[in-house]
Amino acid sequence: MIETILLSVLIVRTTWRIFLEVLNLLHSTSPQVEIPEVLKDKLTPELLEKSKQYLKDRTKLRILSETTQLVVTIYLVLQGFPRLERLFLAYSPLLQAFLFFGALGTIFYLVNLPFRLYSIFVIENKYGFNTATKRTFLRDQTIAVSLILVFSALLIPVLLWLLKHQVWWWQASILTFGFILFFWFIQPTLIAPLFYKFTELEDEGLKKRIKELIERSSAKIPKIYVMNASKRTKKQNAYVTGIGRSRRLVLYDTIMNYPSDELLAVVAHELGHHVKKHIQKNVILFSIYATILLYLMNFVYQHILKTNAFDVQRPHTIFVYSFLFVSTISYFLEPLVNYLSRKMEYEADLFSVELLKNPAAMISALKRLVKENLSNANPHPLYKVWYYSHPAPEERIRALSQVQ
């Protein structure tokens, strides 16, 4: 029974994903669709055409990747997982788990690799966004894989220890919470510097203005860094990260050529996230979310254990089935997560305007972002509800124009 349910949810999720992609593409590239009024001064018909083409290329790749992943996952569910389990049965329980997760990780990595390579070196290259060389890519991959190996070596024994308990969801939930806090603390100081170079902001004039802004916003952010994002992309961003002493404001070097009032508006938006405690709220929300999912996983786990479903017996294999089951279902909660995220983005925009009293600068920065990142000017409403963690630029601009 549970076999049929798992296969059904996998198929329903992929079908729904592809449906949303096609719906969004047809809507956004339809010839009747016009440039939104608020974007008309920045977005020429040529740019609109280019952004439609960009969307088309990415959507096609996504549909192909979704379909491939579904086929591979169905094979693994029906045959792959049990076969892999049997392959390593002669070893100790810990080694079995390491080999099993290692094999799975390798399979998923290799299945995704061609899509990732095509996305970066063909699509992003074609539209002039990619600046990463093959060498940088290889270096990033080596570091990322090494990090995964280190974290797996630490976490797999913990997982096996947890699975020995009949009820493990609440212990797992406490550990997850601890791990998130730990990760947030080390991410800016230990992880991110493995990939990017961070230098303290040198422009004294700008530094002074940003520090003033931080002080006025009553945020406590001791350091401002510039990150060499341009080594990989031309896309633009800024963020506040870290907990306690590791907290910092990070500016992509790609936004350093913004006019200073626009740059300050973006910084004020990021400060808004901080002052309105969005990071803390996200950590709490995520913990509640994770607890619910872990509870469900424990439930599915016990069910598989009792019914001998899927013809597997080792705790790590049963765990993978319950994880796959619950993570597939959780896709249908994405609209809720993104709804909360969009609310926070509006709040941060509003904060930026309150702090700087300059909505025009934020509007202008958003228009620049649409133009330079070739953002989709006309996403389908349902696609926005499902996937957009930020309100569409057009909506943010309209909301900002109403604040006076």
Tokens of 251: 């500016």
Please calculate the CA angle 391-122-17 and round it to the nearest 5 degrees: 45
Which CB atom, from 348 or from 363, has the smaller least distance to Zn ion? Answer: 348
Q: Which residues pair with 233 in a beta bridge?
A: 130
Helix (H, G, I), strand (E, B) or coil at 238: strand
Least distance (Å) between residue 303 CB and Zn ion = 40
Least distance (Å) between residue 278 CB and Zn ion = 8
Q: Which of 21, 85, 124, 349 is catalytic?
A: 349
Least distance (Å) between residue 215 CB and Zn ion = 21
φ and ψ at residue 61, rounded to 5 degrees: -65, -40
Q: What does the alpha-carbon distance between residue 101 and residue 78 come to, in Å, rounded to a whole number?
A: 17
Which CB atom, from 52 or from 390, has the smaller least distance to Zn ion? Answer: 390
- Residue burial 51-66, b: 16+ Cβ < 10 Å; e: rest: bbebbebbbebbbebb
- Residue ranges at the known binding site: 269, 273, 345
Number of residues that bind Zn ion (CB under 5 A): 2
Least distance (Å) between residue 241 CB and Zn ion = 12
Interactions with Zn ion, residue window 151-170 (CB under 5 A)? none
Among this protein's residues, is 349 annotated catalytic?
Answer: yes
Q: Which of 270, 311, 347, 395 is catalytic?
A: 270
Please calculate the CA angle 263-264-270 and round it to the nearest 5 degrees: 95
CA torsion angle 298 301 305 307 (round to 10): 110
Please calculate the CA angle 264-270-271 and round it to the nearest 5 degrees: 85
Q: Could you tell me which stretch among 3-11, 15-23, 346-354, 393-401 binds Zn ion (CB under 5 A)?
A: 346-354
- Residue ranges at the known binding site for Zn(2+): 269, 273, 345
CA 227 to chain centre: 19
Residue pointed to by tokens 């977005």: 43
Amino acid identity, position 94: L
Among this protein's residues, is 311 annotated catalytic?
Answer: no
Which CB atom, from 3 or from 372, has the smaller least distance to Zn ion? Answer: 372
Least distance (Å) between residue 341 CB and Zn ion = 9
Residue pointed to by tokens 């590239």: 29
Which CB atom, from 272 or from 315, has the smaller least distance to Zn ion? Answer: 272
Interactions with Zn ion, residue window 348-367 (CB under 5 A)? 348
Which CB atom, from 97 or from 268, has the smaller least distance to Zn ion? Answer: 268
Q: Could you tell me which stretch among 23-31, 40-48, 340-348, 352-360 binds Zn ion (CB under 5 A)?
A: 340-348
Residues marked as catalytic = 270, 349
Instruction: State the residues that interact with Zn ion by CB under 5 A.
Output: 345, 348
